[in-house]
Amino acid sequence: MNFHIVTTQTQIYNSFLKTGLIARGIEKKIIDIKIHNLYDFGLGAHKSIDDTPYGGGAGMVIRVDIIDKALSSLKRKSAKTILLTPQGKKFSQNIAKRLAKQKELILISGRFEGYDERIRDLVDEEISIGDYILTSGDLPAMVLIDAVSRLMPGFIDKKESLKSESFALKIAFRHSNCKIANCLEYPQYTRPAEYKSKPVPKILLSGDHAKIAAWRQKEAQKRTKERRPDLVK
């Protein structure tokens, strides 16, 4: 998977590219991440990329011609272009799975007051990571890359981890027509078996894998209903 990030803050990615599984994924050539400075496509001596909004208002707006120039230098037939914006579709595990099937993603990470509306005509999709406002699209870009990368073959050593985590569990309620499309993960425990009078559930120490699986299913359903009723359909 190849990622291209168009950003005004290239330095923010320095540690991201050199840390943990992302760094290992790059080293193993499972993913490739290239950072492109939007100011390289700016106008004039000051490399201007934005301007005041027509009609007045606070802040500066990123120019459509600058983004168009940047994308024209990057655009490939196989690439999908994503605009990171609070106005986009809310990011989810299902979207991550869909994007993981792509060969190449171009992520536009903006700043300032926002984008010229005509920029939306230059992209394939708009994505938001949640209903809140950040100072730029760089954190959303990293979130998207992390979520998509870990779904690539070979990125996570233990494939079973991908199947049993939150939003990957697909469980149907017994004795009910109700289904959870994506369950939260069941409770996990490790040593010590008891800590400050809080013991590990006995079923997990039983060695009975069938009963453990049933317990985990029940707990995943219970947790999802309690914490994320919006996931219950």
What was the pLDDT predicted at 128?
Answer: 97
What percent of the chain stands above pLDDT 70? 89
Contact 16, 31 (CB under 8 A): no
In the chain, the N- to C-terminal Cα span, in Å, equals 33
Contact 110, 66 (CB under 8 A): no
Q: How far is Cα 89 from Cα 84, in angstroms, rounded to an integer?
A: 9
Residues 34-72: tens digit of each pLDDT:
999 999 999 999 999 999 999 998 889 999 999 999 999
Read off the pLDDT band of 199 (50, 70, 90): very high
Is 159-231 the same fold as 2-149? no
Domain boundaries, the chain: 2-149, 159-231
The average pLDDT across 173-186 equals: 63
- Cα torsion at 64, 70, 72, 77 (round to 10°)? -110
Instruction: Output DSSP code: residue 159.
Output: H
Burial 117-149 (b: 16+ CB within 10 A, else e): eebeebbeebbbbeeeeeebbbebbbbbbebbb
Read off the pLDDT band of 166 (50, 70, 90): low
Q: How far is Cα 185 from Cα 204, in angstroms, rounded to an integer?
A: 15
Across 74-83, 87-96, 103-112, 197-206, least confident range: 74-83
Strand partners, 108: 6, 83
Token pair in block for residue 88: 């986009």
Q: Which of 38, 27, 28 is nearest to 5 (CA)?
A: 38
DSSP character string of 15-42? HHHTSHHHHHHHHTTS-EEEEEEGGGG-
Highest CATH level, class, for 2-149: alpha beta
Pick the CATH number of 159-231 from 1.10.1270.20, 1.10.3720.10, 3.90.70.10, 3.10.20.30: 1.10.1270.20
Residues 144-165: tens digit of each pLDDT:
999 999 999 999 986 656 555 6
What was the pLDDT predicted at 149?
Answer: 98
Q: Which of 183, 13, 155 is nearest to 4 (CA)?
A: 13
Task: Please tell me whether residue 163 adopts helix, strand or coil conformation.
Answer: helix
Task: Please tell me whether residue 95 adopts helix, strand or coil conformation.
Answer: helix
